[in-house]
Amino acid sequence: MKYRTLGRTGIQVSPYALGAMMFGAMGNPDHDESIRIIHKALDAGINFVDTADGYSFGESEEIVGKALKGRRDEVVLATKVFFPMGEGPNHGGSSRRWIVTEVENSLRRLQTDHIDLYQIHRPDPTADIEETLSALSDLIHHGKVRAIGSSTFPASQIVEAQWVAERRGLERFRTEQPPYSILNRGIEREVLPVCERYGMGTLVWSPLAQGMLTGRYRKGKQAVPQRFPGIAQPHFTDERKLDVVEQLVPLAEKAGLPMTHLAMAFAIAHPGVTSAIIGPRTMEQLDDLLAGAETTLDDEILDRIDEIAPPGTDAAPNDAAYTPPPVSEVRLRRRPVAERSAA
């Protein structure tokens, strides 16, 4: 593979990153098979592995740790912190208290003495970004972490974090991990330009739009996956997304490409994207994705994709991975009744 520089860190990473969310109870509970998948990805030239403490409640990190025995030095290892890992009110988030506690748990599960990229999994409106960056800076200074990053942060919060780091002399976020696919191009408006402006590497997740861009889900004949039984999954029946898919299928066929290869090649074609995260659950899925690793799209195909799914737009505008509190919390967008009536 042709490797790319991760922002301005000097670290060289593959354009495909192996995402480990599907290793463990959330996806493939077979540890031995998951380890074989990881090994095959490494043998194919992928040197970037991304996981998180919250994936299967730490099980994913444990599987990755076992898989990297004897191969740790050849891998750029990334993990994340934020989501609850216990019932206590302080067993999650981005406070110094939790970060310095949970990094030790991740290191233990991953069976390593350092993490190459430690990321804040989601913005935390309850924690001052200076508090978070200060804790992460200490981890770098202590040698437990090599670089730090954010995940699914709005552009405004990415900028704020950069400014705080500069003003306070703290380590700064070197990467951002946002969702990006043909169906979800919203980050092209602000997030990707901001990351480029600050020299941040970008590793995008869900380039296959949670499976919508595999070609398996079509109008009138899609079967909603049963990965999470009992949980509503309107994503797979959204008519706006299905309309886009119906136009992409003949485009891929004309180009002689599987839909998965079209989708992945699109994601890594953007100059602001360093790596796209693949998340295979089975060996067959990995084999399919690896077969398209050298696929490139010409301008004619990219122009046609732009016509089908306009740049900077999401096929389903409300399909956001993160909604800022001022939008979701009523108390932050409505004055108390007494104040509204006192004119």
SS3 119: strand
- Which residue in 3, 16, 55, 180 is the catalytic one? 55
159-167 average pLDDT score: 98
- Is residue 55 annotated as a catalytic residue, yes or no? yes
Mean residue pLDDT across the chain? 93
Spell out the residues 6+ positions from residue 327 whose beta carbon is closer than 8 angstroms to its own.
Answer: 333
* pLDDT recorded at residue 31: 98
Give the pLDDT confidence of 266-307 residue by residue, as tens digits: 999 999 999 999 999 999 999 999 999 999 999 999 999 999
List, in sequence order, every beta strand (DSSP E) within 186-332.
201-204, 275-278
Tell me: the pLDDT tens digits for 213-269? 999 988 877 566 655 555 556 667 788 999 999 999 999 999 999 999 999 999 999
Q: For residues 296 and 202, what is the distance between their CA atoms, to the nearest angstrom?
A: 19
CB atoms within 10 A of CB 298: 8
**Can you give the pLDDT at residue 235?**
67
Is 301 in contact with 48 (CB distance < 8 Å)? Answer: no
User: What CATH topology corresponds to 4-341?
Assistant: TIM Barrel (3.20.20)
**Which pLDDT does position 49 carry in this prediction?**
98
Distance between CA atoms of 177 and 152, rounded to whole angstroms?
6
Please check the confidence at residue 34 and state whether its pLDDT lies above 90.
yes
- Spell out the residues 6+ positions from residue 234 whose beta carbon is closer than 8 angstroms to its own: none
Q: Where are the domains of the chain?
A: 4-341
Q: What is the pLDDT of residue 86?
A: 93
Residues 6+ apart with CB under 8 A from 175: 6, 7, 9, 117, 119, 147, 149, 150, 200, 201, 202, 203, 274
Q: What pLDDT sits at residue 112?
A: 98
| pLDDT exceeds cutoff 80 at 207 | yes
